[in-house]
C-alpha cells in the first residue's frame, strides 16, 4: 500500500470505519479489523483515533 499523508490517512480511516460500522455494527468491528481494512496495524490506529468510540 502506498504511503498516504497523515490527514489523508485519517480521512481514509474514518471513511472505512464508517462503512464497516454501518455494515457490521459497533460491536461487530474490532480495531484490528479496521486496521486490516486500512493497511494499518490495530495499535497504530491510535495515532489517528483515540478508539472506536471516538470514531462515532
| Domain range summary for the chain, segments of one domain joined by + | 6-55
DSSP symbols for 5-55: -HHHHHHHHHHHHHHHHHHH-GGG--HHHHHHHHTS-TGGGGGT-S-HHHH
Look up the CATH number of domain 6-55: 1.10.10.60
Q: What is the pLDDT of residue 4?
A: 55
Mean pLDDT of successive 10-residue stretches along the chain, which has 56 residues: 63 89 92 88 81 80
pTM above 0.75, yes or no: no
Report d(CA 25, CA 33) in Å as an integer: 13
Amino acid at each position: 500500500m502506498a504511503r498516504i499523508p497523515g490527514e489523508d490517512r485519517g480521512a481514509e480511516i474514518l471513511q472505512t470505519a464508517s462503512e464497516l460500522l454501518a455494515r457490521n455494527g459497533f460491536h461487530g468491528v474490532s480495531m484490528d479489523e479496521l486496521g486490516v481494512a486500512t493497511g494499518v496495524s490495530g495499535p497504530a490506529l491510535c495515532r489517528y483515533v483515540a478508539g472506536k468510540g471516538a470514531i462515532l
